Structure 1
Amino acid sequence: MNRAPLTLAAAAAGLAALTGIAAFTAPAAPAADSGRAATRLPVERSALLCPAPSGSDLAETTYTSVTPKGADGAATGTGTAQLVTADKKPTARLTLKEPGKPVSGSANGAEAPALAGAADGRLAPGWAAQQTTVVSAGSARGVLGVSCTAPDTDFWFPGASTAKTRQDYLHVTNPDDTAAVVDIELYGPDGVLKSDSGAGEGIPVPAKSSVPVLLSTLTTAPLADLTVHVTTRTGRVGAAVQVQEEGVGADWLPASADAAGSLVLPGIPADATDVRLVAFATGDDDADLKLRLAGPTGSITPAGAETLHVKSRMTATIDLKNLTRGDAGSLLLAPADPAHTAPVVAALRVTRGSGAKQELAFVPATGALGARATAADNRATGTTLSLTAPTADATVKVTASVGTQAGTSTSKTYTVKAGTTLAVQPPVPAGLKGSYALTVETESGGPVHVARMLALPDDGIPMFTIQTLPDDRGTVAVPEAEQDLSVLSR
């Protein structure tokens, strides 16, 4: 398919010069009577970071960017949204021109750099971008998909590994004009992994650069499952773990949702051949978790995997094998004793296929959909949308955008019963050429957790990637206030 070209002359570590970029900037609040409830207004600025896609010369990467069309009251007027490669003198851009119409670009080979970008005005609310890489052979073989994310200061990655069969690289990206300093801690089944050399402490990330860190260089312990904690001493960064597993495949491990007593991990494929849960208790108390699988007709307790005990600041795992058994589902984690809640983070390692024809992906715990979220890169075939309503019935609206080259937008409404997962083939734009975006909006009912699977099979290998869709934070609560000139005389 035809895509906007991306010039990749700059070094792979280079990023755009994004002076003073803010992830979400609220508009000024209008004067109003004091004491009124806060009003939700569209954000006026958004920021996204995408890690360097792959170290393989065979990598073929597609970038897709979109801002969904806004609801009533959305920001109007002009706006810009750009994803930029290169260094302090950016030479390539992926630029949006209007809400509701995605754009895409491509880059091939191992030198494709990280991306950074900003959106403002009417293109800021809900701005989303996806990076999808296909590697057809070699140790990095697979589909590696990742949603570009806003910079932050704290990340948890349960599900990483330093096993001899794994190569896990933590990619840390700094979009700002000043250097950032990050600390990386690894936690195994017995707690924190100490390093005599101090590896992982005070790692500098220069301004507008991306630094890959091979996790096995931070410890001498080869562990199959561990949890990575990334914090910043100064600055803010984007972070994601790129996983390559020998003989199995490759994909990105995104950060888990914030630690909580109850978590939802949506979108386990119907044909999953192996599922492993990795959890970590972030606080001072142990966590005893009750496991439930939300399937198409209700929630059940997986046989032989009813509970999981997670010790404080230790990583725990449980092999759930092929628990979906032909029906797509989602894993629900809750305190075994509602009177005793301890915060945890969690992720699933999921495989499809068998033997030499395997591929893997990761599903981190994710927050609820909230008002709206968007998956930017979808194809004519191979997309599955999983909708999970853990506590109450819910209705959502799914909108397929126009295509990057051609196609007519269309929408469909779905109702999800409480305690179930509804896996659907979402609507596809009529006359589609290129790729398209899917926007999911809550219409009524309880919270919904969403994941999108993109399957791109190759030579009998069920290559796939899964992205979760938490709320896009396209609006922000702005307290209303009134002028009080009496303060001038105080």
Structure 2
Amino acid sequence: MKHRAPLTLAAAAAALAALAGAAHLLAPAAPADGAPAAQAARMPVERSVLVCPAPSSSDIAETVYTAITPAAPGASGRGTARLLGATKEAKPVLELREPGRPAGASASGAEAPALAGAADGVLAPGWTAQQTTKVSVGRARGLLGAACTAPGTDFWFPGVSTAKGREDYVHLTNPDDTAAVVDIKLFGPDGPVKADAGTNENIRIDPRSSKAVSLATLAPGAQLADAAARVTTRAGRVGASVQAGEEGVGADWLPAAAEPAPSLVLPGIPADAASVKLVVFAPGEEDADLALRLAGPNGSISPAGSERLHVKAGTAASADLKDLTRGEAGSLLLAPAVDGKPVPVVAALRVVRGSGARQELAFVPAAAPVGARATAADNRAGDGAGVLSLTAVGADAKVRVTASPGTEGGEPAVQEVTVRAGTTQALPSPAPAGLKGAYALTVETLSGGPVYASRMLALPHEGIPMFTVQVLSDDRGTVPVPQARQDLSVLTR
């Protein structure tokens, strides 16, 4: 049996001194009496992960991928950023080599896989990617745009449907080396929709793979024109998006909506929208009474005949807002109709442009604020020129908009925009000078209240006003690093 040598007083004192010195070096000085505590510093993230759904099941689909990490003043060093097929034999599809300039790639047909990838080093903070797919004919024809997203464990999709003529698929992509297990729940006007045993629970997504689940198979026989879906994981994490196709109207991606909240902003309804439908779901145990307002270029108004919407707890409700914008782009604002009764909800809009056989649809989910910075990676000049919509809520706000050209050439374009509270400013996307190819749009909040944003990309085809809308939310390029406080008492506990 071995005996330990007794710890001498001198050795103990030396150890305490060393620990105290380390604590002094690692912790900031305590604030003076009465001084406010220091706020957590924000530091650039060191790694970002993105997943993109499989673009299309059409053999004539043409897909463009675009990725960028916005340039940051003072940033230096090296980094990598790659998107690969979400398969066990992953092949690189797109690689970004420098911040501040978007890079692109393309794919054709129905074999283009879902993608997963990571960025690290100087390319990690704000890494953004998008896929844009054009299908010119067929049942799934349309312009389908999807921002690649960070994997997660909980997603809300108000605006899904199992009605006749509509085909909605939940695309689930697992970027990790372990299996994920997923549940999908549907909610209609009468509450939860009962699924056949085993069809909507414990759905296994193998490592580094993707699966598309038809919502119609989860609710056989149910004709739900306006519903909401919730995707949660029992194990692992996934990227989740809904691809919606409507016979005679078009197709697009319905991204996950912002988390449940009493007040929501759905930014960027096109000026020429022929039809706008709102779908809201109340996930809690209380009914929600909502006031609806349209924030246009000159202020906010209540849409005639649709000033309020009542949503029963646990159900989905809809409102047909028709041609809500009437020639001026705007954003829909939802807020509690009764003071002192905030009830969290989720929401999305189905928007249609065109008429007759030349219609096209897109979706606008409730968005999170731009925050410090947000980016739309894929923008086009000429026929594909889009519209950037900026909405300020609560207070005036000032933002900086930067258009960054790709490696084909062009000079960045920068402009500052002031958005008055309660209004939406719709700007033609500012293209870089001497542009060749696509470009990225980055929005940074400089001052004032929260700003919400979306970008509409239009690529007309044979008289069909094909378009897609992507909301811009904080790219989470920085994370808070808590301030430590010197506390030597831990040495004596």
Question: After superposition, what is the alpha-carbon deviation per residue over 1:76-121, rounded to whole angstroms, capped at 9, x for unaligned?
Answer: 3111111111522322231111110110000000010000010111
Aligned residues of 1:294 and 1:390 also touching (Cα < 8 A): no
**Residue range with higher mean Cα deviation, 386-395 or 82-91:** 82-91
Paired position in structure 2 for 1:299 = 300
Matches within 5 A, 1:80-91: 80-85=80-85, 87-91=87-91
Paired position in structure 2 for 1:338 = 339
Paired position in structure 1 for 2:373 = 372
Aligned residues of 1:51 and 1:114 also touching (Cα < 8 A): yes
1:431 CA displacement:
1.1
Paired position in structure 2 for 1:212 = 212
**Residue range with higher mean Cα deviation, 199-208 or 89-98:** 89-98
User: Which ranges in structure 1 are unaligned for 5 or more consecutive residues?
Assistant: 1-28
State the AA in 2 paired with 1:57: D
1:405 CA displacement:
1.1
Paired position in structure 2 for 1:316 = 317
Paired position in structure 2 for 1:266 = 267
Aligned residues of 2:400 and 2:417 also touching (Cα < 8 A): yes
1:54 aligns with 2:56: yes
Correspondence for 1:383 among 382, 386, 400: 386
2:357 aligned counterpart, secondary structure: helix
1:488 CA displacement:
4.5
Paired position in structure 2 for 1:43 = 45
1:404 CA displacement:
3.6
1:443 CA displacement:
1.0
1:32 CA displacement:
2.1
Correspondence for 2:428 among 402, 409, 425: 425
C-alpha separation in 2, matches of 1:301 and 1:441 = 29
Correspondence for 2:409 among 406, 425, 445: 406
Paired position in structure 2 for 1:32 = 28
State the AA in 2 paired with 1:39: A
Aligned residues of 2:172 and 2:205 also touching (Cα < 8 A): yes
1:471 aligns with 2:471: no
Aligned residues of 1:404 and 1:436 also touching (Cα < 8 A): no
User: Which ranges in structure 2 are unaligned for 5 or more consecutive residues?
Assistant: 1-24, 31-36
Aligned residues of 1:157 and 1:228 also touching (Cα < 8 A): yes
Aligned residues of 1:181 and 1:232 also touching (Cα < 8 A): yes
Q: TM-score, normalised by structure 2?
A: 0.91
**Residue range with higher mean Cα deviation, 405-414 or 340-349:** 405-414
C-alpha separation in 1, matches of 2:361 and 2:67 = 25
1:219 CA displacement:
0.7
State the AA in 1 paired with 2:224: L
**Residue range with higher mean Cα deviation, 295-304 or 374-383:** 374-383
Question: After superposition, what is the alpha-carbon deviation per residue over 1:215-248, rounded to whole angstroms, capped at 9, x for unaligned?
Answer: 0000120111110000000001000000010000
Paired position in structure 2 for 1:145 = 145
CA 1:196–1:53: 2 relative to 1, 3 Å: closer
Matches within 5 A, 1:173-322: 173-220=173-220, 221-322=222-323
1:312 aligned counterpart, secondary structure: coil
**Aligned-pair RMSD on alpha carbons?**
1.4
**Residue range with higher mean Cα deviation, 195-204 or 440-449:** 195-204
State the AA in 2 paired with 1:56: S
Question: After superposition, what is the alpha-carbon deviation per residue over 1:128-184, rounded to whole angstroms, capped at 9, x for unaligned?
Answer: 000000000000100000000000000000000001110100001111111010000
Aligned residues of 2:49 and 2:150 also touching (Cα < 8 A): yes
CA 1:49–1:414: 2 relative to 1, 3 Å: same
Aligned residues of 2:102 and 2:405 also touching (Cα < 8 A): yes
C-alpha separation in 2, matches of 1:30 and 1:457 = 58
C-alpha separation in 2, matches of 1:431 and 1:207 = 44
Return the index of the structure with the highest Cα Rg: 2
State the AA in 1 paired with 2:399: V
1:155 aligns with 2:155: yes
Question: After superposition, what is the alpha-carbon deviation per residue over 1:261-300, rounded to whole angstroms, capped at 9, x for unaligned?
Answer: 0000000000000000000001111100000000010100
2:305 aligned counterpart, secondary structure: coil
Aligned residues of 2:93 and 2:105 also touching (Cα < 8 A): no
Give the share of equivalent positions with the same residue, in percent.
66
C-alpha separation in 2, matches of 1:276 and 1:37 = 42
1:485 CA displacement:
6.0
Question: After superposition, what is the alpha-carbon deviation per residue over 1:322-356, rounded to whole angstroms, capped at 9, x for unaligned?
Answer: 01000000000000012101100000000000000
Aligned residues: 460
2:434 aligned counterpart, secondary structure: strand
1:108 aligns with 2:108: yes
C-alpha separation in 1, matches of 2:28 and 2:118 = 31
1:353 aligned counterpart, secondary structure: strand
**Residue range with higher mean Cα deviation, 346-355 or 372-381:** 372-381
Paired position in structure 2 for 1:458 = 461
Question: After superposition, what is the alpha-carbon deviation per residue over 1:450-474, rounded to whole angstroms, capped at 9, x for unaligned?
Answer: 0000000000000000000011111
C-alpha separation in 2, matches of 1:482 and 1:340 = 39
C-alpha separation in 2, matches of 1:480 and 1:390 = 31
C-alpha separation in 2, matches of 1:243 and 1:309 = 26
Correspondence for 1:69 among 68, 71, 76: 71
C-alpha separation in 2, matches of 1:196 and 1:172 = 20
C-alpha separation in 2, matches of 1:180 and 1:483 = 41
C-alpha separation in 2, matches of 1:460 and 1:36 = 58
C-alpha separation in 2, matches of 1:311 and 1:462 = 36
CA 1:48–1:411: 2 relative to 1, 3 Å: same
1:471 aligned counterpart, secondary structure: coil
1:486 CA displacement:
5.5
Q: TM-score, normalised by structure 1?
A: 0.92
C-alpha separation in 2, matches of 1:322 and 1:60 = 31
**Residue range with higher mean Cα deviation, 31-40 or 257-266:** 31-40
1:482 CA displacement:
5.0
Paired position in structure 2 for 1:8 = none
Paired position in structure 1 for 2:399 = 396
State the AA in 2 paired with 1:40: R
1:217 aligned counterpart, secondary structure: helix
Aligned residues of 1:33 and 1:481 also touching (Cα < 8 A): no
CA 1:55–1:304: 2 relative to 1, 3 Å: same
**Residue range with higher mean Cα deviation, 300-309 or 390-399:** 390-399
CA 1:86–1:362: 2 relative to 1, 3 Å: closer
State the AA in 1 paired with 2:117: G
Aligned residues of 2:86 and 2:174 also touching (Cα < 8 A): no
1:487 CA displacement:
3.2
